[in-house]
Structure 1
């Protein structure tokens, strides 16, 4: 990063603030740091020198727009551009709260509009086949049971992969699971029998026994399980089952919501189960369900 020592120290303090106080999800925190690093690198080239607090104080709206334009020219999508701007605003907000500097330049920058894409869900048969096939791809019994439990929680409980990998024994109740989601908010999610059984099978086979408040899902060396390993497992499942590239761990969460809504699930209940702060976020699944109905209509109706 092309920042002087003083600015680098403030960035480190901002990072601690996001992680410890704001409780940003690890993947979001990583993305924010990457976005800010790219902004600083751009400013260094743009201004022709090391970036300091004085550089930031002298920023104009045109400088920030130039950064966004440069990123757009690198084929960065609207969603990623919006996140980059959010990271920059977060850092400047931190500096202002700390009484270090205030900048008016950001106030005139609008967040890039994001196309509202529909979540891509698997069919019920595809989701069930994904779970059923998981243990056929692994020879080590406890690893196969682990991956089946993880994937079962994504589809059978609608959890984000980060939420699944954070589950501890203390979170497990007889028929429910306490989930810590975005922003450190907790919710209680029911565990249907097959999901509970998958977890119990894993716990009975795993050679590792972390403390009650530590994540239960472990890697082969006993450390916390990396989400990358589950992504690789899903990649294997896509190949084995002929699923599209959109069949990811997060697509299983989308499938949970879509299938629940298709069976008459209440939107408010689905919002609570998914841990969405706003109902408008959950309402996108009504569009998914409508589109699915239209596809069925077009396929079946003789005049369609």
Structure 2
């Protein structure tokens, strides 16, 4: 007997233009589950991730929560483990496809139709929601049960929502808006290197005194590289940084940004290059 969820997701609209300096960098994990006495642990749980991942190559399946991006409307099928052996199985239908790439879009809405062949059993939706990177506008995400008129705000701390499964699919709406704007701090200036060692470079810069400034992030690339890599795991609170374990004879390029407590980063400082002897 075929037992599986079918989640139909259609990107129904976007609007507006993001503010300058705002970048979308967030993801959400939605776990759908219903009681399943035939499963080893008594419950069938399937996952869906919404997020932004520039490295996604559209080739992932639902064996793990990896995100993928097509270019238009989508359908995602989360089968019961027995589904691939069912005569009605369509090769590739277990892949997860989703379209939420939107670094320049401040709002998204997704419709999700959720159903199971077990009427009367509760479907439980739980989630985690994480943000990172340059968030000059904190996102606000809401889950709306359009079938029952229940709205739940999805917070970074996670949560859950349960509803009874019926003969007809339940319409869930995930609504994302960019939230309240937080102005980015001014960019640092006068980045330079007062001293270099054989395998280290001391960096210094100037920054304005801001009451809500969290610190600074530094970025580095070597000669022959085009992309910068952030070399600070946490914001630096001083106006200097010692970069070590470098290769003698190499030339390195640096820039620095300021970041406030909301994770909103400034523009880049001036770029400098430093050659090690």
TM-score by length of 2: 0.26
Higher helix share: 1
TM-score by length of 1: 0.24
